[in-house]
Copies of this chain bind each other. A is one copy, B any other.
Amino acid sequence: MDDLARLVAGEAIRQVKARYFYGLDHKDWDLWRREVWAADGELHVPEHRTEPYRGIDAIIAWVSAATADQVSIHHGHMPMIEFDGADAARVIWAMEDRLYRTREHPLEGGWTELHGMGHYRERYERRPEGWRLVSSQLTRLRVDMRMTR
């Protein structure tokens, strides 16, 4: 991989992850299908569930249920990018999220406001349609939850 190819790939990966965040906070799951996730992608949030969600349908089924009746803010920062050949990369992003739910939210959590900070550990691959997110694991260093009136 020469310098230019590496820069192009790094920028493509940043664009994919930017659409990940935009789609998530706007509940634009079509954007996730078209421009973010590989169809066989995996999403793993160990603090939520031991097993990853496998495949874009399972990912969207969970995330769309979890984000129903919720305003969410997810921000990503300072990716550490390491390439495995020309068509794959491992990336770690720092992240912060804030979730605002009503008391009537369908998922039981015992909170209406959550503030988390941690990291995504991800793998991207170049597929025929472009760079796509193939696996994502989210862990948080700190989570604060509270129940508002």
Name A's B-contacting residues (CB within 8 A).
3-4, 6-8, 10-11, 14-15, 17-19, 21-22, 25, 71, 73, 75-81, 92, 94, 96, 98, 100, 117, 119, 141-142
CB contact under 8 A between A11 and B7, given known A75-B78, A94-B75, A117-B98: yes
Q: Tell me what chain A mostly uses at the interface: helix, strand, loop, or mixed.
A: strand
Residue of A3, A17, A71, A75 with most chain B CB atoms under a 10 A cut-off: A75
Q: Are A21 and B73 in contact (CB under 8 A)?
A: no
Complex alpha-carbon distance, A15 and B83, angstroms: 13
Copies of this protein, total: 3
Complex alpha-carbon distance, A119 and B71, angstroms: 14
Q: Are B142 and A78 in contact (CB under 8 A)?
A: no
Q: Are A78 and B141 in contact (CB under 8 A)?
A: no
Which residues of chain B are near A25, meaning CB under 8 Å? 94, 141
Which residues of chain B are near A3, meaning CB under 8 Å? 4, 8
Q: Are B18 and A80 in contact (CB under 8 A)?
A: yes
Q: Are A100 and B142 in contact (CB under 8 A)?
A: yes
Which residues of chain B are near A10, meaning CB under 8 Å? 11
